[in-house]
């Protein structure tokens, strides 16, 4: 059987997993590729670093030129994270005549146009299944298997780290800081987890999926995003009381009446029992709705060594077999082809909302709040107002039983669920209510899913 010589650039967690699959399951991979995937080189920055894999003699190197200058190496797994030097390395690989497989969603979201233009000009290909959803084959399904459909919406949990943190808070009662620390101990979260928890990682992936599904070219930083800072442990409890769970949801929804595309990443209340609400731990899930196929639900490990390596090697097989070359040229991704779909300004999007306020337990407060909501055309669906905690009714004057100011009234949580309203109206009402003298602390408002099967 003929050989396709391949290389790995970047032997971190995923790169090591790719090497394991290539070395341990060569026969299995060859059956699918119709040729042997022969690991020729694996480049690293530090040759002295201990690794969990024993590579054949002569494979491991710290010299990128040994890959760039070897004409026999045809396919390279580009597994370098971040923007630079990842961008420069990918351009060098393309210029050297290599077909590239990557898992770097940040790089594609930031420089997809430049990289794909270069690949097309040079007659090379870029495959990127592992960039979104880890082991979930969402890229191939959207770009190929759903090609007979107009996709109407994509809604999903695209960041397993944030979902793990929410699950720990909900099921174990951990506060946010403890849940983040546990995610870091398990390797789900980086030392600086900002990109995961503030919605940036999910926005990068959503930008890629939106381009595949709708042809739009949107900068990921222009996608409205809110992260886990938007709610607290108490909100998970109140959501549960109302029959919901809170998930960080990335949404791309095509409005048929206007032809505009709604894009955002937002903490969202999903009714219990629906597929997205039941996704636990460090898993990803994506609900795709097509006009012909209907609802399709994808669920699996969105990160981790072997799930991501599985997607990388599948792309290497398709590239070696020539399938990537066909799809890459037909799809014209990040090309000059213009999409006629406009992006809906986020403030014009509509939805239901969950609002929580900590208010003074005194007459007239509720009427103030409902009056403001009415002024902004935000209709109330339901209200929950619990009585003060038992210790607050005993006449204690301690700081714990009051809002922290001498002689101030007792406070109670007030939770409001609205009917559908525009984002601008909900935000304006929330801001005005938050500024009332009777409202203590920060106010919380979150989106509520209306999808029957979400």
Q: Name the phi and psi angles at 321, rounded to 5.
A: -80, -10
Residues 8, 424: Cα–Cα separation, whole Å: 48
CA atoms within 13 A on the CB side of 54: 0
CA–CA dist 376, 374 (Å, integer): 5
- Contact status, residue 39 vs residue 285, Cβ threshold 8 Å: no
| Nearest C-alpha neighbor of 106 from the set 2, 203, 193, 213 | 203
Does residue 235 contact residue 413 with C-beta atoms inside 8 Å?
no
Active-site residue, 57 included: no
Q: Which residue in the list 205, 301, 340, 350 is annotated as catalytic?
A: 205
Catalytic residues, which ones? Answer: 205
């Amino acid at each position: 059987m003929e050989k396709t010589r391949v290389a790995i650039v970047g032997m971190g967690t995923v790169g090591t997993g790719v090497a394991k699959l290539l070395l341990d399951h060569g026969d299995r991979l060859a059956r699918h590729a119709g040729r042997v995937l022969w690991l020729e080189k694996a480049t690293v920055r530090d040759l002295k670093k201990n690794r969990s894999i024993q590579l054949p003699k002569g494979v491991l190197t710290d010299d990128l030129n040994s890959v760039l200058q070897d004409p026999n190496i045809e396919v390279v797994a580009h597994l370098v994270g971040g923007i630079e030097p990842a961008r420069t390395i990918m351009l060098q690989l393309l210029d050297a005549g290599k077909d590239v497989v990557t898992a770097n969603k940040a790089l594609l979201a930031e420089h997809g146009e430049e990289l794909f233009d270069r690949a097309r000009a040079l007659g090379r290909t870029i495959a990127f299944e592992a960039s979104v959803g880890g082991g979930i084959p969402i890229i191939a399904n959207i770009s190929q298997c759903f090609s007979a459909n107009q996709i109407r919406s994509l809604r999903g949990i695209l960041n397993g780290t944030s979902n793990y943190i929410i699950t720990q808070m909900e099921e174990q009662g951990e506060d946010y800081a403890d849940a983040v620390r546990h995610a870091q101990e398990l390797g789900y979260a980086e030392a600086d987890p900002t990109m995961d928890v503030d919605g940036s990682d999910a926005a990068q992936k959503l930008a890629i999926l939106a381009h595949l599904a709708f042809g739009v070219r949107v900068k990921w930083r222009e996608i409205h995003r809110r992260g886990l800072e938007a709610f607290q442990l108490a909100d998970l409890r109140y959501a549960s009381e109302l029959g919901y769970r809170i998930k960080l949801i990335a949404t791309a929804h095509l409005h048929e009446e206007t032809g505009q595309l709604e894009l955002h990443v937002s903490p969202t209340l999903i009714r219990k029992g629906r597929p997205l609400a039941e996704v636990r731990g460090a898993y990803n899930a994506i609900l795709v709705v097509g006009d012909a196929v209907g609802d399709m639900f994808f669920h699996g490990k969105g990160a981790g060594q072997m799930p991501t390596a599985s997607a990388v090697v599948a792309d290497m097989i398709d590239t070696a077999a020539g399938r990537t070359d066909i799809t890459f040229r037909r799809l014209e991704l990040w090309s000059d082809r213009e999409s006629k779909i406009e992006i809906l300004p986020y403030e014009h999007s509509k939805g239901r909302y969950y609002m929580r306020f900590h208010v003074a337990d005194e007459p007239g407060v509720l009427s103030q709040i409902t009056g403001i909501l009415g002024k902004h055309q935000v209709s109330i669906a339901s209200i929950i107002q619990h009585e003060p905690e038992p210790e607050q009714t005993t006449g204690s004057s301690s700081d714990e039983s009051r809002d922290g100011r001498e002689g101030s009234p007792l406070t109670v949580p007030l939770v409001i669920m609205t009917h559908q309203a525009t984002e601008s109206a909900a935000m304006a009402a929330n801001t005005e209510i938050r500024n009332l003298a009777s409202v203590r602390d920060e106010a919380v408002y979150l989106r509520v899913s209306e999808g029957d099967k979400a």
